[in-house]
Structure 1
Amino acid sequence: MTRIVFIGAGSAVFTRQLLRDLLTFDDLPPLELVLHDIDPDRLRLAEWVAQATVRHHGRSATVVATEDRRRAVAGADFVINTVNIGGHAATVTDFDVPESFGVRQTIGDTLGVGGVFRALRTFPFLDALAAEMSELAPDAWLLNYTNPMAMNVGYLARRHPEVRTLGLCHSVHWTVHDLSRLVGVPLDEVTYRSAGVNHQAWVLDWRRGEEDLYPLLDRAIAADPGLRRRVRVDMYRRLGYYPTETSEHSSEYVPWYLHDDAEVERLRIPLRDYVGISAANAEEVEGLVRGGPDVPYVEPPEQAAEYAPQVIHSLLTGTTREIQATVPNLGLIDNLPAGAPVEAPVVVGAEVRPTPVGELPAQCAALNSAFLQVVELTVRAAVEERPELVRQALMVDPNTAATLDVGRIWALADAMVAAHGDLLAPPLRVAVPLD
C-alpha cells in the first residue's frame, strides 16, 4: 500500500484540492492517506474531508489522522508539506511591523520582509521534518508547497541533501491558462517553456503549433488600457517576457513600484492583499469545523492543476509528464548561480529528470539573480546561525532597499525578531548592534 502523508493537513481547503486531484486517477494502487496537523480541530476537519473524498471517488484508500508527526512520517512514500508556521497571526505580524516602518507589501510570503521572516519561522520545522524523513522514510519524496518556496528548497538542499525534494507551485500553469484564455486559444492546443525562480519565472516560449502567441498578447494589451494598469503587464512590456506570478506578487520582487504612491495608483496594486486572503481562509476553515463531520464533497471548478498528485501518479504508474518544479540549479540555467533553487521544467515518470534550459534572457537573469541573493543570505543566516545575515538579506532585498535607509532596515529587522520571538531559532533571536 502506498503511504501518502499530508503535513499541515489542517489547511483543509488546499488538502481537499490535492485529494480530489489525486483520487481522480483510477489506476493508482491502494493508498494510505495519512493526515497530520498540530491543531486537533483542523486535523479532525481534514479527516472528514478525506473520508468524504474517498467515498465520492470510491477508491481503495484508507484514511489515518494523527497529531504525532513521527508516526505520520514513518514508512512514507510521499510527504506533502503545506504548513504555515505561526498561522494567520504571524502573517499579520509580517505586514503590520514593516508597515509601521513604511514598507508596503501585498502578499509577503516569498521575498521581502515577510518572505525572509516566513522562511526563518519555517526552517526549524523543515529541519526536524527532514531529519525524521531521513530516519523513518529515507526513500520518500518530500513534495513542498510551503512558501517561501525558493528559500525553503534552498535550505533543505543545504541542510538535508539526502532528502529527495521537489518544490511545487501552480503559478506557471495558471499563468499560461489565463494568457491563453486572454488571446482566445484553447489551453490544450498550447505548448510553452518557462524557467527562472519560483514566483518570478518567465514564459520564454508560448506557441500554438508553430505560431508564436506573444503577438496576440501584444494586440490584446494594445486594445485594453485596463490591462496596461497591471504590474506584470508593465513588466512584460518593458522586459519582453511575461512573468509567471500575479501582479500582486510581482510588485514585491523589484524596486520599482511599491514605494511610489503614483505607481501604486497607476497599477492598482492592492496593498496588504494577503492579510485579507489569510483571514478569509482561516474563517472558511473555522466554519467547516463548526459544520461537523458531514462535510460535502465539492466538485472542482476547473480541471486538475496541482502538481503533487501528478508527480505521485507518474512515479507510481510510469506515466510521463512535464511539470514545473523548484530544484537546485545543477546545470539547468547557465546564467544563474550553481546550486541555487530555480524553477525549471522537470520530466516525471519512472524517475524525476530536471530539464536543462540554457541561458535566460539577460534582463530576466539579472532580476532572478537579485532575487536569489536575498534567498542565499536568508538560508545562510539560518544554516550558519548568523543574525547579521538576516539584516543583510533585507539590505539587498529590492523593495525594502528602495523604501528604507540602512539604519531603518536594521531597526526593522530587530523589530521583526522581537515580534516573532520564539518562532525563530534561538541563535537568530537577537539584535545586532553596530558598536
Structure 2
Amino acid sequence: MKFLENKVNDINLAYIGGGSRGWAWNLMGDLALDEEISGTVSLYDIDHKAAADNKKIGNQLFKREEAKSDWTFEVSDSLKDVLKDTDFVIISILPGTFEEMESDVHAPEEYGIYQSVGDSVGPGGLVRALRTIPMYVEIAEAIKEFAPEAWVINYTNPMSLCTRTLYEIFPEIKAFGCCHEVFGTQELLAEMLYDLEGIKNIQRDEIKVNVKGINHFTWLDQAAYQDKDLFPLYEKFVDKYYETGFGEENEDYFSSQERVKFDLFKRYGLIAAAGDRHLAEFCPKNWYLKNPDQVEKWKFALTPVNWRKNDKAEKLEKSRALIKGEEEIELKASGEEGIRQIKAILGLEEFVTNVNLPNQGQIKGLPEGAVVETNALFSRNSVKPVTAGKLPDNIQALIERHVLNQETILKAALNKDKQLAFSAFINDPLVDIDLEQAEKLFNEMLKNTEEYLPGWEI
C-alpha cells in the first residue's frame, strides 16, 4: 500500500463470494463513491462465471465519469490466488443453494415450526451452520497460510458461528463480523425524534448507543442524541405505537412495524436492536412464531425461499443487462460501513461502530471466546472492542442459551458428531416438539443437505 497526500492507493482487496449479485454490486458502488482509496479487487467464487461477470460490471463502472476513485477488478481461480498479497478479505457467500435453504426454512413447517428468516438460529440456522462451518474452516486455513496479516470482514450468516470458526481455526486472525441491524434501530430512534419532538434530518450515527448481545439478538442499554437520554422518550414511543405498530403496513417480506421490538422493551426494559424477523427467532416459539396468524398479529413477515429464488432470477437478468450496457449500477451509498472500516484500519480516520468479535470481557458474564456483538473502536491497524458491561440476568438467560448452543454446534460440525448436533437442535427454543418428531425432522433436514456434509453418517 502507498500513502500519498491523504489518499491510499494500491490496496489489494480479496472478495470471497465475489460472484454475488447483491453485496458485490453494493461494494462496487461504495468504492466508486469514495475518493480516498484505490486499488485492485480480486474476485473468487465457486461460480467462476458469476465472478467473471462481476469483473466486467466492475471495470465498466470505473470507466464512468462519476466514479471518484480508481479500482480494477480481477478474477482469481483459487483461494490461494485470491489471497496472495491481499490487504483485506471480504467474505460474503451463500452456503449451499436456495434448494438447501428451502429445506432449512420450510421443512420445519410440517412440524409446526415457523421461521421468519432461518439463517441464524432455529432448526434452519443450525443446519445452515453445519454446512457453512466446513467452508469457513477451509477459508480460515487458507488465510492462515497465504494472508495471515490481512484484515478479514465477514458478512455471511450465521454471523456468530462464521466469525467464531475463523478464530477457532486461526486464533491470530484479524477478523470481525459486520451486520447492519443496529443501524436500522438507530434510524428508528431518529424517526422517533421526528415523530415525538419534530426534530428533522438526524443522521443515524448521531444516535449514540451502547451495544451488547449477539448478532441478530442485540440490545441497547444506552441511547442518546446530543445530550438527550432517549430511553424516556422511547417508552412514550412504544406506548403510542404498541398496538398499531409504527410505520406503513408491511410492504414486502423484509419489513415490519416494530411490534416485536416494542414488546421486548415492555418485557425487559432495554431496546432490542435488530429487525423483528430476526428477534422473533431467538425467543420461545409461542411468543411470536406459533403460526402464521400470530406472525400477522405482530406485524412482521415470514420470508419464503421461493421469493429469494425469484429475486435471484431477477438479479441474473440485471447482471446480463449490466454487462451489455443496457443498465448501469446506480451510484448511491449502500448503508454498509465496510469501506469506512477499511479506511479507519488504514489510518485515515477513527470511529466507533458495532461489530462481532470474540468476547474478551467486553460483555461480562458471557463465555470468553464466544462471538458477541458490541461497539468497537476502529483506528490504524486496530479494531478494539468497547467494554459494554453486563447484561441484565433475565436477558442474559435468553442470550446465554444461544451462545452455548452455538459452541455446541461448532464442536459438532468440526467433529462430524450427529448426536451432539441433535442435542443442540432440540435445545433451540423454536424446536418445541416432542423428541420423536424432532429426531425425524432433524434427520430429514440433514438428508436434504448431505451433499455439504462429507464424512457424516446420515
Normalization by structure 2: what TM-score? 0.87
What is the 5 A alignment of 1:68-217? 68-184=78-194, 185=199, 186-187=202-203, 189-217=206-234
Task: Return the letter of the residue paired with 1:4.
Answer: L
Name the structure 2 match of 1:334: 364
Name the structure 1 match of 2:4: none
What is the 5 A alignment of 1:369-384? 369-384=400-415
Match status 1:411 vs 2:457: no
Percent sequence identity over matched residues? 26
User: What do the CA deviations read for 1:316-375 (whole angstroms, capped 9, x no partner)?
Assistant: 134101111111101110021121110011111111111111212222222111121221
5+ residue gaps, structure 2: 1-9, 247-256
State the 4+ residue runs in structure 1 displaced beyond 3 angstroms. 260-263
After the TM superposition, which of the residue ranges 160-169 and 221-230 deviates more from structure 2? Answer: 221-230
Name the structure 2 match of 1:226: 244
- 3-state SS in 1 of match to 2:274: coil
1:110 Cα deviation from its structure 2 partner: 0.4
| Matches of 1:170 and 1:202, distance apart in 2 | 14
| Matches of 1:130 and 1:239, distance apart in 2 | 38
Name the structure 2 match of 1:53: 61
Match status 1:313 vs 2:353: no
Name the structure 1 match of 2:421: 390
Match status 1:44 vs 2:52: yes
Contact 1:189 1:209 in 2 (8 A): yes
User: What do the CA deviations read for 1:126-155 (whole angstroms, capped 9, x no partner)?
Assistant: 111111111111111121100001111122
Name the structure 2 match of 1:433: none
| Matches of 2:98 and 2:82, distance apart in 1 | 24
Contact 1:329 1:338 in 2 (8 A): yes
Contact 1:45 1:288 in 2 (8 A): no
Number of equivalences: 423
The 1:182–1:373 alpha-carbon spacing in structure 2 relative to 1, beyond 3 Å, is same
Name the structure 2 match of 1:299: 331
Name the structure 2 match of 1:18: 27
| Matches of 1:331 and 1:253, distance apart in 2 | 23
What is the 5 A alignment of 1:325-364? 325-350=355-380, 351-364=382-395
After the TM superposition, which of the residue ranges 105-114 and 384-393 deviates more from structure 2? Answer: 384-393
1:122 Cα deviation from its structure 2 partner: 1.0
User: What do the CA deviations read for 1:282-337 (whole angstroms, capped 9, x no partner)?
Assistant: 1232112332332402032xx55313212211111341011111111011100211
1:20 Cα deviation from its structure 2 partner: 2.0
| Matches of 1:299 and 1:318, distance apart in 2 | 23
User: What do the CA deviations read for 1:367-416 (whole angstroms, capped 9, x no partner)?
Assistant: 1111212211111101233211110111110111x3x1122212211111
Contact 1:32 1:63 in 2 (8 A): yes
Contact 1:252 1:258 in 2 (8 A): yes
User: What do the CA deviations read for 1:187-228 (whole angstroms, capped 9, x no partner)?
Assistant: 354221111100001022111222111222222332333228
The 1:338–1:139 alpha-carbon spacing in structure 2 relative to 1, beyond 3 Å, is same
User: What do the CA deviations read for 1:6-25 (whole angstroms, capped 9, x no partner)?
Assistant: 11122222111122223332
1:119 Cα deviation from its structure 2 partner: 1.0
Contact 2:31 2:69 in 1 (8 A): no
Contact 1:119 1:151 in 2 (8 A): yes
- 3-state SS in 1 of match to 2:369: coil
Task: Return the letter of the residue paired with 1:415.
Answer: E
Name the structure 1 match of 2:430: 399
Normalization by structure 1: what TM-score? 0.92
Task: Return the letter of the residue paired with 1:226.
Answer: T
Name the structure 1 match of 2:277: 248
Task: Return the letter of the residue paired with 2:188.
Answer: D
User: What do the CA deviations read for 1:146-183 (whole angstroms, capped 9, x no partner)?
Assistant: 00011111222222213221111111112211221133
Task: Return the letter of the residue paired with 1:320.
Answer: E
| Matches of 1:105 and 1:374, distance apart in 2 | 18
Name the structure 1 match of 2:252: none
The 1:226–1:55 alpha-carbon spacing in structure 2 relative to 1, beyond 3 Å, is farther
Report the structure, 1 or 2, having the larger helix content.
1
The 1:179–1:45 alpha-carbon spacing in structure 2 relative to 1, beyond 3 Å, is farther
| Matches of 1:415 and 1:339, distance apart in 2 | 32
The 1:175–1:45 alpha-carbon spacing in structure 2 relative to 1, beyond 3 Å, is farther
| Matches of 2:148 and 2:342, distance apart in 1 | 17
| Matches of 2:206 and 2:105, distance apart in 1 | 41
Name the structure 1 match of 2:451: 422
CA RMSD, aligned part only?
Answer: 1.9
Task: Return the letter of the residue paired with 1:151.
Answer: L
